[in-house]
Amino acid sequence: MTFLFTSPSIEDLIRLLRAWRFWVFGAFVGILLGAALYYVVPPPYRAKATVNVDFNLEQAWPKETDRQQFFYLERESRKLEELAWSDEIISQLSSEFAIVPEDLRGGKMLLSQPSDAGWHFYADDNDPQIAEGLASAWAEAFTLKVQSEVQAGNINEFVKLEVTQAQNLPKQRSISLSEYMLAGSMSFLTLAVFSVLFIKPKK
């Protein structure tokens, strides 16, 4: 076969449509390989703890404009986020779970926070119990740290936190089987289409 790295012509596109069995087969093979990879090298487990954060806007800014409330919410959210990743909390978790801070900050822990509502603390590990313990400890440490900062006057006194989910946490793979299968399917489908378009049989 000869490689022709040129833009596809109308004839190439027609040939692609005629070869639908080939690229459907490629997508099917990709699904199987994606599923096989999932079971051979599975992704880590992910646990999620939840802390409810209430900024009490009505009490903090009872007579102010929406814009001022927005800046208040943004400022206080940024403070809390910085506390969640602070050296104090990360060092505490690093010592408790024997995980270096670089790994904790490098993707092992994830924070999802919609400002004024439930803040979700995710932790990944190959051991589901460690993932659960890490997520729970992070949420608890964060809550205690924020409460101490409120008492010290560094965080607005109207900010209230409550750990709403720190026990018996949901644990599932960080990447689902369907995502592996979809990625495999798309990869081999792309490869199949590329083969039909750019690798032409000898005449």
- Structural contact between residues 159 and 76, judged by C-beta atoms closer than 8 angstroms: yes
Q: Same domain for 37 and 49?
A: no
Q: Which residue has the higher pLDDT, 7 or 159?
A: 159
pLDDT band at 4 (very low <50, low <70, confident <90, very high): very low
Q: Same domain for 114 and 192?
A: no
- Residue 4 has φ and ψ, to the nearest 5°, of -125, 100
pLDDT digits (tens, 9 = 90+) for 45-99: 999 999 999 887 777 665 656 667 777 788 888 999 999 999 999 999 999 999 9
Question: Is the pTM here over 0.85, yes or no?
Answer: no
Residue ranges making up the domain that contains 122: 45-172
Tell me, what's the pLDDT at 8?
56
Q: Same domain for 27 and 111?
A: no
Which residues, other chains included, contact 127 with Cβ-Cβ below 8 Å and sequence gap of 6+? 45
pLDDT digits (tens, 9 = 90+) for 188-200: 877 777 766 666 5
Q: Same domain for 35 and 75?
A: no
Nearest partner of 83 among 122, 141, 134, judged by Cα: 141
Q: Please report which helix (H) or strand (E) contains residue 47, including its range.
A: strand 45-54
- The pair of structure tokens assigned to 16 is 């692609």
Q: Same domain for 52 and 79?
A: yes
